[in-house]
Amino acid sequence: MNQSYLRSIYLRLAGVVMLVVVLALAASAFLSHRAFEAALAPEMAKKVASGGASARSLVLKAMDNQIAFGEIYGIEQTFDDLKRSIPDIAYVAVTDTTGVVLYQRFTAPAGAPAHFRSPAVLGSLATPDFWPPAVRVGEQYVVSMPIVTRQQPVGMMHIGVSVEFVDRIILDMLLDVVVVLVVALFFTLELLNFMAGSKLETALKSLGETIERGASGDFTPMRARGTAGPFGAVLKLLEDVRERVNTGFATLARDIEQGRRVPAHERPPGLAAAHSGLQALSQRFRFGAADSTTTRDDGQLAKIRAPLFVFILAEELTRPFLPGYIKSLLVPVPGLPWLAPEIVVGLPIALFMLIVALGQPFLGAYAQRVGNRHAMMVGAGVAAFGFVASAIASSVLDLLLWRSMCALGYGLVFVAAQGHVLAHTNNANRARSFALFIGAIMVATVCGPSIGGILADNIGERWTLAIAALLAIGSMGAIRLLPRQDAAATAAQSEIKPPSLREIASLMVNKRFMTVTGLAAIPAKVLLTGVCFYLVPLYVLSLGSTQSMVGRILMIYGVVMVVLMPLAASFATTRERMEWLVGSGLLLSGIGTLLLMFGDHVGWIFAAVFLIGLGQSLSIAAQSALVREHCDSEVTAMGEPAVYGVYRLLERLGNALGPMLAAVLLMAFSYRTGFVAIGGAVALCGVVFILATRRSNAAPALVPV
Amino acid sequence: MTMAKTKPQLIVVAVLVCLFAVGMAGLLNFFKYRSNAERIIKERLVVTGTSIENSIQSSLALGLQFADLGTLPETLERERATDDLILSIEVFDTEGKPLYSTDRLRASRDVPAAWITAARQAAGKDWFVKQGTDSAAGIAIENNFGLGIGYLALRYSEEQVSNSTMAVARQLALSAFAVFAAAATLASLALVAVMNRLTRDFDAVEAALRARDGSRLSPAAQKGPFGRALRRFFETVRHAESDLAQLRAELHRGAPR
């Protein structure tokens, strides 16, 4: 009940904020439309006037050749030429000195004849070197230019531009505004959670527990609860009521006890009945001293979400523009002249993934030694330095070094945050705690690429990297709020050790383990990094689109994951379902990229990334759970951390492999072949996975007991 | 009421979210304006440049030498005078040697290296250089055989463009600030209103608790999130207290006073 109530509070709070934000964005669009109109209309008028000047000079030339002003042949063709050079032109007309139209082309705005005859317009005939500013006539801005021969004014040329050009500019921004709105929604939820959510949750939980205890007849005082939080007064009153009853019982018990101590003849006649009634009452209700059991504080756990979100957001900002940025820094690699640019572009991305994959055990050990909070601070600091250095990188070679630092910082923050979650969970709430951890990452994948793309387009990649650095530094502020690690937490964490080489080798030749890891986990990651992080950004830019578009496309992946992954996870309740989810997820995501066979429009890429997101959201949660299902005996023999350690290691190596594989395919073939080849291979893995798991289900000997 | 402490935090949330949304929208507006204004200005310069180029092509078609176009200086001056943005119009050969210029001082020295670089990189297309007073929009000039023989550059006042951009930026910033202030206020009030409703629910519970009478739970509190549990709570408390009272009465029954 607490969760659904809390969710309803969140929805109401986020709902009203979103409503106001929508209104604010609409007001902003309206005001900017007015500002654009006021500022750009004169500029547009000057532009069309520049073009009109050459058309006007042709008219004057014709008149120099003794052609009468009203009898110039082919002037409409000149107007056509003018429109070809300035497509914004919606109307061109030439009038005589009284404002009567002699020639015109395209669509006249409503009220044009009256405007042409107005004294204000005709008055400008007297000033041939100066023409009045553009005037809005109907749905057009009209510039009127006097046509004056050496002898006298002969008429005017009027050029109209549709007012819609400002509407088009505002509409161009609409997609970006929608992106801002979506990000604002997630931002609101994250902020609500950070600022008030955990306190509200804790307070509601306390309140619920107090009421529930009282309702079930438990009047023992609870552990010291803070009554300073929200609903503190109600909580205190409830506790007072429970304490009142408890005290009443204690007083009565004491009185009965005192009564029993006096000589029998002095005892009140109802003592025996009261004593047995008290016994019965203590059976029905619970009285006495507070229990000494302690539970972990969920508030400490929730504190990890904000710094993790902000830090991951910093890295996610770079997704849409990183390949393009690397491309802009390309230089021949000394000693390796054969190294193709496609490979070099993929190198920083692959190296990042490789460092994160291979560094996990070492970074985990470091985090255990210095404490999660300290490790996160160091990781965020290192990454912030990496972002700043990446922003001022002069070539791809130094960028490799700086991105490695970002990877080191990312890996350290990731591992330490994971350690924090582990340290503040128990078996009962581990799944929920990791949902909180994954949730922060997923929300960052929705917000980061879209905002990163917009920023990169408008302020440039280097400044966007600087903003990423600021975010990483900002996350350090939130990390400072985390508790220092206590001994119990360290002990809980130290139970997890990195997998040994023997364990890795043993699992890599294990058919059941590799069915999940080799056929599902690695291909899924290759698809993610190879297609989404490498091919999509480069391909979209090669089509002449923008980095904002790349960001929007990558945001689709995040949104689909955020919405569907929990649903798919809740559906994955049996092994058969998990296997179907993994197989069909792989198949679907593979088929997604095959869509690129049908065309090279950005819409196809949107559709492909949507299907990749859909496929991955189906398979990711089930994949991880299937390891346990498929490798029960290995888990018993080696322990769950070792089996999952190897699984994560191989999965992350798939992350590193993706960009390299995509680069090789791009180098050898083309973008679309790269998409289709990777997608086809993943779809094939999906089919083989389904067949392999069907067969193993049919043959009981292969099923772990 | 400790709920009061939550309200400032919610106001901070409202302010930050509005700041982000309106700030991002303001940034987008500004960058959109800037890119469009620059595009329009560049296109305007190119239109003027194309007109001059047509004139040069007409002369070349008559067999005149590129370096010897007698009417060109007058044409250049006339075109320069039509647009106050244009500082000077310069025609130079492929090596950057000036051939014609509306600015006598510049006619005697080579054109900026950035122009030559940009012109060569453009490979026959329009080119643009943004470099303070040396900002220019340029067009390649080809002879009748399609061979590049030089370039035409319209040097313009970047400062003038920046000034007008900044004026619009100020206007956009002001309107963004006004929208932000209004939105932040409205969002804060709305959030506080939602929280007030929540507070009212709990105030009703508090009132019932202070009155030591669970039966006085208001309808709002009864329908609220803990309504059913609260009713059970008070019911259990009432039973327990009634039992305790009975037992106490039993204990004191016939006791010496």
The pLDDT value given to residue B142: 86
Lowest-confidence pick of A395-409, B66-80, B111-125, B215-229: B215-229
Among all residues of chain A, which has the CA nearest to that of B200? A231
Among all residues of chain B, which has the CA nearest to that of A47? B44
By the CB < 8 Å criterion, does B253 face chain A? Answer: yes
Mutating which of A1, A16, A20 best tests the B interface, going by the most B Cβ atoms within 10 A? Answer: A20
By the CB < 8 Å criterion, does B192 face chain A? Answer: no
Q: For residue B183, give the nearest of A20, A46, A457 by CB distance.
A: A20
Q: For residue A40, give the nearest of B24, B40, B246 by CB distance.
A: B40
Q: Measure the CA–CA gap between A394 and A400, rounded to whole angstroms.
A: 11
Distance from the Cα of B52 to chain A's closest Cα (Å) equals 9
Report how far Cα A597 is from the mean position of its chain's Cα atoms. Answer: 28
The pLDDT value given to residue B66: 79
Contacts of B16 in chain A (CB under 8 A): 187, 191
By the CB < 8 Å criterion, does B19 face chain A? Answer: no
A-to-B residue pairs, Cβ atoms closer than 8 angstroms: 274
By the CB < 8 Å criterion, does B84 face chain A? Answer: no
Q: Is B130 exposed, middle or buried (0-12, 13-18, 19+ CB in 10 A)?
A: middle
Interface of A with B in 602-661 (CB under 8 A): none
pLDDT tens figures, B160-189: 888 888 888 999 899 999 999 999 999 999
Q: Note whether A47 contacts B18, CB cutoff 8 Å.
A: no
Among all residues of chain B, which has the CA nearest to that of A267? B255
The pLDDT value given to residue A230: 60
Q: For residue A50, give the nearest of B16, B82, B212 by CB distance.
A: B82
Q: Which residues of chain A have pLDDT under 50?
A: 294, 487, 700-705
Distance from the Cα of A257 to chain B's closest Cα (Å) equals 11
Query: Which residues lie across from A106 on neighbouring strands?
Result: A91
Mutating which of B195, B233, B235, B257 best tests the A interface, going by the most A Cβ atoms within 10 A? Answer: B233
Q: For residue A177, give the nearest of B25, B198, B226 by CB distance.
A: B25
Q: Which of B102, B57, B50, B58 is nearest to B76 (CA)?
A: B102
By the CB < 8 Å criterion, does B238 face chain A? Answer: no
Q: Note whether B236 contacts A233, CB cutoff 8 Å.
A: no
Distance from the Cα of A491 to chain B's closest Cα (Å) equals 35
Q: Measure the CA–CA gap between B40 and A399, rounded to whole angstroms.
A: 36
Distance from the Cα of B149 to chain A's closest Cα (Å) equals 23
pLDDT tens figures, A262-319: 777 777 777 788 888 888 888 888 887 765 554 555 566 677 888 899 999 999 999 8
Contacts of B82 in chain A (CB under 8 A): 50, 53
By the CB < 8 Å criterion, does A58 face chain B? Answer: no
The pLDDT value given to residue A390: 94
Q: Measure the CA–CA gap between A679 and A521, rounded to whole angstroms.
A: 14
Contacts of A451 in chain B (CB under 8 A): 24
Query: How many Cα neighbours within 13 Å face the side chain of A487?
Result: 0
Distance from the Cα of A566 to chain B's closest Cα (Å) equals 25
By the CB < 8 Å criterion, does B50 face chain A? Answer: yes
Domains, in order of start, for chain B: 46-165 (3.30.450.20)
Residue B103 DSSP class = -
The pLDDT value given to residue B42: 87
pLDDT tens figures, A454-510: 899 888 899 999 999 999 999 998 888 887 765 455 555 555 566 777 878 888 878
Domains, in order of start, for chain A: 2-171 (3.30.450.20), 197-284 (no CATH), 501-705 (1.20.1250.20)
User: Are the C-beta atoms of residues A130 and A118 closer than 8 Å to each other?
Assistant: no
By the CB < 8 Å criterion, does A249 face chain B? Answer: yes
pLDDT tens figures, A614-657: 998 888 878 877 887 777 787 777 777 778 888 888 888 898 99
DSSP secondary structure of A573-588 = -SHHHHHHHHHHHHHH
By the CB < 8 Å criterion, does A272 face chain B? Answer: no
What pTM does this model have?
0.77
Q: Is the pLDDT score of B257 beyond 70?
A: no
Q: Note whether A50 contacts B235, CB cutoff 8 Å.
A: no
Q: Measure the CA–CA gap between A496 and A645, rounded to whole angstroms.
A: 9
Among all residues of chain A, which has the CA nearest to that of B232? A215
Q: Note whether A269 contacts B254, CB cutoff 8 Å.
A: yes
Residue reference for tokens 């193993």: A696
The pLDDT value given to residue A463: 94
Among all residues of chain B, which has the CA nearest to that of A243? B237
Distance from the Cα of B13 to chain A's closest Cα (Å) equals 6
The pLDDT value given to residue A226: 54
The pLDDT value given to residue A704: 39
Q: What is the gyration radius of the CA atoms in chain B, in angstroms? A: 40
Mutating which of B19, B199, B237 best tests the A interface, going by the most A Cβ atoms within 10 A? Answer: B237
Mutating which of A43, A57, A309 best tests the B interface, going by the most B Cβ atoms within 10 A? Answer: A43
Q: Which pair of structure tokens corresponds to residue A171? A: 């509409």
User: Are the C-beta atoms of residues A269 and B254 closer than 8 Å to each other?
Assistant: yes
Amino acid found at B171: Q
Amino acid found at A585: G
> Alpha helix locations (H) across A193-297?
198-215, 232-261, 271-284
H or E element at residue B130? none
Q: Note whether A458 contacts B31, CB cutoff 8 Å.
A: yes
